């Protein structure tokens, strides 16, 4: 019997039907924001995702395997290497994971899901991520999914990634918008700590235009200190005439807050931990 015929994909279309009933667009209008476009929730062509529950080779996984792996910094680092267009020596890839068991688990999963393929002494991207240029939209999708799956909330949180509103259209899209009861939260994601002053200025401009209760700049680096970025942001805030500057939050490693609605965080532990810190401060 041909095993390929037995493969069972993750039922993203069914999930999409459930999520689209979360009243996101209606609640945005009630908050004075008319949405022009959002990126597809579970069919975004620029998002790396798990394809199979039962793989063509017979391996089985839960539908949240990729979601949980993506929270780990080393896993995201590996995916960035795969998407860089350059084949990677097997030894170099293995070196990202000090624990052999962790590497074996991740390698097997990625190969089973057709995200990783072997080419002699090198690893290359698999067929399921050929058209994806970088990890940016996957990071946005993960954070939106984190809000949907978070047990902290007793209801489905209306949240989208890649949101463009008619107001501020010329300023580009909002990476993530989450509607937490009476609070609006916007998140801007950076996949590296090399963030230009122009990008920091654009983040503050969007926060000023949309006036969310929480405007978070999330920088996907394991560095717990972001002094250079924070200094530049505080300079920009000063030019806006504010006297509320970003300072470290003692109880939340990697998190900075200006006492009002501007937050910045790195990822010194995991995405889950850093996002949880932000909610606890709020």
Structural domain ending residue among the three candidates 112, 129, 146: 129
Distance in angstroms (rounded) separating the CA atoms of residues 266 and 264:
7
pTM here is 0.93
Kindly report the CATH number assigned to the domain that includes residue 223: 3.40.1350
Number of domains making up the chain: 2
Show the domain range for 61. Answer: 48-129
Residues with Cβ within 8 Å of residue 50, at least 6 apart in sequence: 10, 61, 63, 65, 66, 67, 113
Q: Which two tokens stand for residue 170?
A: 């010329």
pLDDT by 10s per residue, the chain, length 282:
444 558 999 999 888 888 888 899 999 999 999 999 999 999 999 999 999 999 999 999 999 999 999 999 999 999 999 998 778 888 888 888 988 999 999 999 999 999 999 998 899 999 999 889 999 999 999 999 999 999 889 889 999 999 999 987 777 789 999 999 889 999 999 988 899 999 999 999 999 999 999 999 999 999 889 999 999 999 999 998 888 999 999 999 999 999 999 999 999 999 999 999 999 987
Verify that 119 and 172 share a domain, yes or no: no
Structural domain ending residue among the three candidates 129, 149, 180: 129
Q: Which two tokens stand for residue 132?
A: 């994806």
* Other Cβ atoms within 10 Å of 169 Cβ, number: 11
277 within domain boundaries: yes
Distance in angstroms (rounded) separating the CA atoms of residues 231 and 214:
20
21 within domain boundaries: no
pLDDT, tens digit (0-9, with 9 covering 90-100), for 97-110: 988 999 999 999 99
Kindly report the CATH number assigned to the domain that includes residue 91: 1.10.10
Verify that 238 and 160 share a domain, yes or no: yes
pLDDT, tens digit (0-9, with 9 covering 90-100), for 200-236: 999 999 999 999 999 999 999 998 899 999 999 999 9
33 within domain boundaries: no
Verify that 140 and 277 share a domain, yes or no: yes
């Amino acid at each position: 019997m041909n095993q390929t015929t037995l493969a069972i994909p993750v039922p993203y279309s069914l999930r999409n039907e459930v999520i689209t009933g979360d009243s996101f667009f209606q609640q945005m209008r009630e908050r004075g924001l008319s949405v022009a476009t959002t990126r597809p929730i579970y069919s975004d062509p620029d998002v790396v995702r798990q394809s199979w529950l039962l793989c063509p080779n017979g391996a089985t996984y839960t539908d949240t395997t990729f979601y949980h792996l993506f929270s780990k910094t080393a896993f995201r680092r590996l995916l960035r290497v795969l998407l860089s267009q350059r084949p990677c020596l097997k030894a170099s890839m293995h070196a990202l994971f000090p624990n052999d068991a962790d590497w074996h688990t991740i390698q097997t999963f990625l190969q089973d899901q057709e995200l990783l393929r072997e080419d002699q002494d090198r690893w290359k991207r698999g067929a399921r991520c050929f058209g994806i240029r970088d990890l940016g939209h996957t990071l946005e999708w993960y954070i939106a999914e984190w809000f949907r799956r978070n047990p902290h909330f007793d209801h489905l949180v209306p949240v989208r990634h890649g949101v463009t509103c008619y107001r501020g259209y010329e300023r580009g899209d909002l990476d993530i918008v989450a509607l937490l009861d009476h609070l609006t939260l916007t998140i801007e994601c950076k996949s590296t700590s090399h963030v230009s002053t122009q990008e920091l200025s654009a983040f503050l401009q969007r926060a000023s235009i949309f006036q969310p209760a929480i405007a978070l700049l999330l920088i996907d680096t394991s560095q717990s200190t972001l002094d250079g970025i924070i200094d530049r942001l505080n300079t920009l805030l000063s030019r806006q005439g504010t006297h509320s500057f970003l300072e470290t939050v003692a109880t939340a490693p990697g998190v900075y807050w200006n006492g009002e609605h501007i937050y910045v965080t790195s990822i010194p532990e995991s995405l889950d931990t850093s996002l949880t810190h932000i909610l606890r401060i709020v």
